[in-house]
């Protein structure tokens, strides 16, 4: 039975057309005035500047330089986009060719803009120590935000604070701005979908949603316009509200992550090109770039860290926000089946620990949390890959408090503890402050090492050197250190793939659609000195099939030690021209065989399969794509 609160939420739809009484930020006299500024890493030598305006810009431009008094460079773009219900246009310009770790000053071209500055990205492999902040579940403050009176009917209790425009977390980020180099925010920004928490908004839901977004990003701009602000999605970006029986009534522009995509889609980066000398790493990095889908899933390098941002809301089996998911938000998917998981595996496999020893993955919903609030589908989809490729730290939010966990895999605490564990360490940094308040800690399992829900807080991650990382939890209001943990990782292995026997081809355990059973043939690929570099492997199917493409779903290649690699689509194309006589002769085969060729590189971490021999390039083809 619907609660009174849920029924009241229908009122905005009944009151459409009534004059709005929501608190929009005032319009500037010059509609080209930049607001809601945000910056992000655009590439290994670039930064993307994003901002909104209250009018479409024909040619957004940014002036910049290494001196505040001499902005001697200018870059422009044609990106100025909006969506239904928005009052603003999102603009972005990418500044390329930057010197590493250098302070640049910039100014958005407008009659009413000011000069700001940023630090350009550190080069991958730079072992200089640095710190970042993990800020998750951060909402608007003030009259539309978390300074509402205590409401004991809500599922969580909000701390008692004075109703002033002093957001403790944003305030702390401002006072410590020289102590960290960028921010990761994997999900839940602004909490615009909680507009109905304020009675004055009940007849004006559409306008209130937009007003909260504008206000929040204005409040965040002094930080996000100076420090790269790297985001991925959370559930509160999905639709105009989370009431399952009503969210289908959300207007165009306020559902399916629209604001999130428009605001961040043009500024979050594709994965950077690998600087590794290893062939496999470069191939995997190229594949990850093809499969990435920012702002939902992507990665970047910064100094000694490789950071991956993932989407825990959609695009994996039983994802909570997708159609039929447990959250009933009817959003996504945003990629092909299994695309995100294929991206993640390729990206993790590309990490060369000699260059970026620290591997961090950040997403919204955790699978380890106190009070049994973990996301089981997320754990099933992602945890195995985290362990297989040696992720050092998982950073999550969603639960509105701060938590730290011992290194753990599949519910079992790693016996090595913080001293060179194989399992990842996990943290939750969801207590930064929003209108829904803080979540009680509740019951704690043996894997939990720290939990705090007395006041707003956040996490600082300090990359001290190639082997030592420190995580501090900070109380936002006072700067008090709540918890400190130190993680040592030897990073002895250059690549953290599970080892397999390089002298054998993987075994195909799933037949390819209507094809008859297949056999395999292995052919060595030699280096210039005649030593074996890798093997080309061939699947050989007996003749008798008709012309055309034969395909199957969820094909799997399994190596000799049971390490598996799955593919969303596997296909074999009968092509008599492709079965060259020299191939047939070298394999001692009859010409009545149809051949599917694939290559296996280092430790079979990423078997390559192509369905078209005419487009095959050894070691660089994945399902027909040539890199």
Model confidence band, residue 12 (pLDDT cutoffs 50, 70, 90):
very low
Q: What whole-number distance in Å separates Cα of residue 614 and Cα of residue 624? A: 9
On the question of a cis peptide bond just before residue 226, with omega within 30 degrees of 0, the verdict is no
Model confidence band, residue 482 (pLDDT cutoffs 50, 70, 90):
very high
Q: What whole-number distance in Å separates Cα of residue 492 and Cα of residue 419? A: 13
**Average of per-residue pLDDT across 477-491:** 96
What residue ranges in 408-467 does DSSP mark as E strands?
408-409, 412-413, 425-429, 448-452, 457-463
For position 558, what pLDDT does the model report? 36
pLDDT of 622 strictly over 90: no
Q: What whole-number distance in Å separates Cα of residue 451 and Cα of residue 366? A: 14
Nearest-5° Cα angle at 69, 65 to 72: 35
DSSP per-residue codes, 106-156: EEESSTT---EEEEPPPPTT----EEEEE--SEE--STTTTTSPP-TTSSS
State pLDDT tens for residues 572-584.
Answer: 333 333 333 333 3
Q: What whole-number distance in Å separates Cα of residue 234 and Cα of residue 252? A: 19
> Is residue 67 classed as helix, strand or coil in its secondary structure?
strand
State pLDDT tens for residues 492-519.
Answer: 988 875 433 344 444 443 333 333 444 4
User: What structural domains does the chain harbor?
Assistant: 35-488 (3.60.21.10), 507-626 (no CATH)
**Average of per-residue pLDDT across 445-474:** 97
Range in 29-43, 53-67, 489-503, 597-611 with the lowest mean pLDDT = 597-611
DSSP per-residue codes, 504-529: SPPEE-S--TTPPPEEEEEEEEE-TT
Alpha-carbon 502 to chain mean position: 32
**Average of per-residue pLDDT across 82-106:** 98
For position 245, what pLDDT does the model report? 72
**Furthest C-alpha separation in the chain:** 83
Q: Are 555 and 567 in contact (CB under 8 A)?
A: yes
Q: What whole-number distance in Å separates Cα of residue 340 and Cα of residue 334? A: 9
Q: What whole-number distance in Å separates Cα of residue 8 and Cα of residue 218? A: 29
State pLDDT tens for residues 553-568.
Answer: 333 333 334 444 443 3
Q: Are 473 and 480 in contact (CB under 8 A)?
A: no
> Is residue 346 classed as helix, strand or coil in its secondary structure?
helix
Q: Are 452 and 431 in contact (CB under 8 A)?
A: yes
For position 518, what pLDDT does the model report? 45
State pLDDT tens for residues 20-43.
Answer: 467 899 999 999 999 999 999 999
For position 504, what pLDDT does the model report? 47
State pLDDT tens for residues 372-383.
Answer: 999 999 999 999
pLDDT of 197 strictly over 50: yes
Q: What whole-number distance in Å separates Cα of residue 232 and Cα of residue 308? A: 10
For position 533, what pLDDT does the model report? 57
For position 548, what pLDDT does the model report? 28
Tell me the two tokens of residue 316. 């994996």
pLDDT of 154 strictly over 50: no
Tell me the two tokens of residue 446. 């043996």
Model confidence band, residue 616 (pLDDT cutoffs 50, 70, 90):
very low
pLDDT of 256 strictly over 80: yes
For position 196, what pLDDT does the model report? 87
Site of tokens 């490729």:
389
For position 569, what pLDDT does the model report? 32
For position 175, what pLDDT does the model report? 85
Kindly report the average pLDDT of the chain as a whole number: 79
Q: Which of 572, 537, 495 is nearest to 306 (CA)?
A: 495
Model confidence band, residue 69 (pLDDT cutoffs 50, 70, 90):
very high
Please tell me which of 170-184, 505-519, 598-612 the model is most confident about, judged by mean pLDDT: 170-184
For position 618, what pLDDT does the model report? 28
The DSSP H or E segment spanning 46 is strand 46-53
Range in 200-209, 444-453, 461-470 with the lowest mean pLDDT = 200-209
Please tell me which of 21-30, 324-333, 458-467, 597-606 the model is most confident about, judged by mean pLDDT: 458-467
Tell me the two tokens of residue 155. 């599922």
Higher pLDDT pick, 151 / 330? 330
User: Percent of the chain, pLDDT > 90?
Assistant: 63
> Is residue 304 classed as helix, strand or coil in its secondary structure?
coil
Model confidence band, residue 213 (pLDDT cutoffs 50, 70, 90):
very high
**Average of per-residue pLDDT across 45-49:** 99
| CA torsion angle 466 468 471 472 (round to 10) | -120
For position 146, what pLDDT does the model report? 56
For position 200, what pLDDT does the model report? 82
Q: What whole-number distance in Å separates Cα of residue 226 and Cα of residue 217? A: 13
Range in 130-144, 219-233, 310-324 with the lowest mean pLDDT = 130-144
**Average of per-residue pLDDT across 262-279:** 94
Range in 141-155, 211-225, 603-617 with the lowest mean pLDDT = 603-617
Q: Which bin fits 480, alpha (ψ -120 to 50), beta or left (φ > 0)? A: beta
Q: What whole-number distance in Å separates Cα of residue 334 and Cα of residue 296? A: 8
pLDDT of 163 strictly over 50: no
Predicted TM-score (pTM) of the model is: 0.78
């Amino acid at each position: 039975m619907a609660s009174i609160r849920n029924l009241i939420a229908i009122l905005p739809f009944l009151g459409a057309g009534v004059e709005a009484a929501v608190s929009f930020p005032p319009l500037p006299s010059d509609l080209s005035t930049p607001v809601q500024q945000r910056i992000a890493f655009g590439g290994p030598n670039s930064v993307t500047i994003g901002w909104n305006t209250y009018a479409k810009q024909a040619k957004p431009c940014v002036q910049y330089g290494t001196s505040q008094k001499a902005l001697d460079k200018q870059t422009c773009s044609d990106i100025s986009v909006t969506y239904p219900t928005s009052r603003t246009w999102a603009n972005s310009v990418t500044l390329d060719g930057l010197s590493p770790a250098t302070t640049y000053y910039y100014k958005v071209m407008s009659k009413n803009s000011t000069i700001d500055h940023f630090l350009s990205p550190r080069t991958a492999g730079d072992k200089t120590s640095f710190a970042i902040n993990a800020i998750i579940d951060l909402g608007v403050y003030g009259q539309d935000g978390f300074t509402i009176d205590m409401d004991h009917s809500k599922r969580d209790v909000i701390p008692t604070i004075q109703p002033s425009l002093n957001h403790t977390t944003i305030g702390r980020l401002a006072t410590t701005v020289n102590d960290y180099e960028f921010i990761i925010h994997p999900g839940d920004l602004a909490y615009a979908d909680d507009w109905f928490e304020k009675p004055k908004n009940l007849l004006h839901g559409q306008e209130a949603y937009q007003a909260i977004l504008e206000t929040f990003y204005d409040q965040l701009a002094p930080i996000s316009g100076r420090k790269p602000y790297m985001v991925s999605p959370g559930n509160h970006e999905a639709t105009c509200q989370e009431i399952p029986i009503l969210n289908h009534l959300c207007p165009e522009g306020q559902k399916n992550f629209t604001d999130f995509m428009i605001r961040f889609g043009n500024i979050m980066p594709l994965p950077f090109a690998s600087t590794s000398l290893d062939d496999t790493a470069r191939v995997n990095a190229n594949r990850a770039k093809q499969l990435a889908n920012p702002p939902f899933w992507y990665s970047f390098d910064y100094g000694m860290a490789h950071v991956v941002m993932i989407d825990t809301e959609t695009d994996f089996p039983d994802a909570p926000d997708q159609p039929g998911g447990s959250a009933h938000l009817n959003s996504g998917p945003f990629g092909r089946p299994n695309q995100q998981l294929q991206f993640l595996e390729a990206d993790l496999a590309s990490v060369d620990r000699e260059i970026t020893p620290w591997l961090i993955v950040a997403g919204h919903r955790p699978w380890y949390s106190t009070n049994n609030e973990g996301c089981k589908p997320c754990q099933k989809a992602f945890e195995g890959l985290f362990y297989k490729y040696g992720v050092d730290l998982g950073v999550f939010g969603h639960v509105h408090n701060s938590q730290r966990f011992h290194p753990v895999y599949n519910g079992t605490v790693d016996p090595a503890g913080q001293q060179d564990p194989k399992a990842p360490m996990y943290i939750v940094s969801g207590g930064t402050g929003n209108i829904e308040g803080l979540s009680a800690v509740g019951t704690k399992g043996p894997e939990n090492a720290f939990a705090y829900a007395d006041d707003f807080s956040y996490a600082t991650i300090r990359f001290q050197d190639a082997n030592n990382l420190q995580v501090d939890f900070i109380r936002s209001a006072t700067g008090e250190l709540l918890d400190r943990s130190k993680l040592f990782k030897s990073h002895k292995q250059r690549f953290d793939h599970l080892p397999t026997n390089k002298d054998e081809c993987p075994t195909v355990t799933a037949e390819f659609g209507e094809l008859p059973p297949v056999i395999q043939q292995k052919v060595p690929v030699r280096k210039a000195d005649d030593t074996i570099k890798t093997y080309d492997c061939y699947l050989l199917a007996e003749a008798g099939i008709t012309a055309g493409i034969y395909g199957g779903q969820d094909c799997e290649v399994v190596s000799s030690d049971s390490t598996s690699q799955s593919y969303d689509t596997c296909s074999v194309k009968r092509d008599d021209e492709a079965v060259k006589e020299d191939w047939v002769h070298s394999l001692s085969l009859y010409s009545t065989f149809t051949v599917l060729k694939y290559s296996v590189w280092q430790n079979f971490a990423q078997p390559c399969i192509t369905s078209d021999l005419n487009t095959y390039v050894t070691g660089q083809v994945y399902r027909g794509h040539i890199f």
